[in-house]
Amino acid sequence: MRRSAGSAHSAGGVGGRANGPPAALDASSPWPLYHQLERVLAERIATGFYGDGLPSEPELGTEFGVSRGTVRQALGSLARSGIIVRRRGRGSFVAPVPIEYPLGRFYRFAHELTGRGLSEASDVLARQFVRTPGTVARRLGLAAGVRSLRIVRLRRVGERPLMLETSHIPDPFAGALVDANLSSGSIYDALEEQGVHLTRITEDVHAVTLTPGQAKHFGVESGVPALGLDRLAWAGASAVEHRWGVAPNDRVALSASWGAGRIP
């Protein structure tokens, strides 16, 4: 599933002018001014008119003859749609092209990115033994209250945060990860080096919004739409890791492919 910056907006634009000279907003239109402005800006972004960064709020207000509040409403809607990124004190920027996250195969973040020539790293935000939360314990097939190793990592591409992941590893499999260097590379690699051979992955994808605690790691506002990835890794009949990951919609694009023989 790929996001197209202009997919939710008509191609004609407000007043038929999507790029070039300023497009006029129609005060007599039944569409609110902020919505008209949102459409014009989205169409300009889709054509590459702005490059990476948008004009400031005062500049847009002057160009289109609207209040700063109207500009903020339009920019806020574009941000919630994942078309732009708003950075405190810096302005609004066109959202970068998201990283492809393939469904239906054994995805390893570190391997995928280095295979594409991208620099990957992880900030280990927490690593400690905890009483496994009830919902996670049930997913792992553990009794309530059994301890597991909890690891929280912020996965980055270069300096850009991409995904926030919280893993729980049952105690019998956690030894390999207590002191492992997880600033790069994969939890799965560390497990396999200790003889834990992964055999399959199950994964559910959810539409979520970022909590304030999650949003701060990405430099965005709380409530931003995101993907939630609920994953179980198995070694034979044993679940060896539960992972919950969240990524803002502008950071990750889901992809899937099927053989043509299955298409009616």
The pLDDT tens digits for 91-102 are: 888 876 666 666
What pLDDT is stored for residue 129 in this prediction? 97
Q: Which of 10-24, 41-55, 237-251 has maximum average pLDDT? A: 237-251
Average pLDDT, the chain: 82
Per-residue confidence (pLDDT) for residue 21, from 0 to 100? 40
- The single-letter DSSP state of residue 53 is B
Higher model confidence: residue 62 or residue 264? 62
Architecture per CATH, domain 99-259, reads as 3-Layer(aba) Sandwich (3.40)
Percent of the residues in the chain that have a pLDDT greater than 70, as a whole number: 78
Q: At residue 116, does pLDDT exceed 80?
A: no
Q: Where are the domains of the chain?
A: 14-94, 99-259
Q: 67-80 b/e with 16+ CB inside 10 Å = b?
A: eeebbebbbbbbbe
Task: Using the predicted structure, report yes or no on whether residue 111 has a pLDDT greater than 50.
Answer: yes
CATH number for 14-94 (one of 1.10.10.10, 3.40.50.300, 2.60.40.2550, 1.20.950.20): it is 1.10.10.10
What are 178-217's pLDDT values in tens digits? 999 998 878 998 898 889 999 998 989 999 999 999 999 9
Tell me, what's the pLDDT at 162? Answer: 87
Question: Could you read off the pLDDT of 255-264 as tens digits, one per residue?
Answer: 766 666 554 5
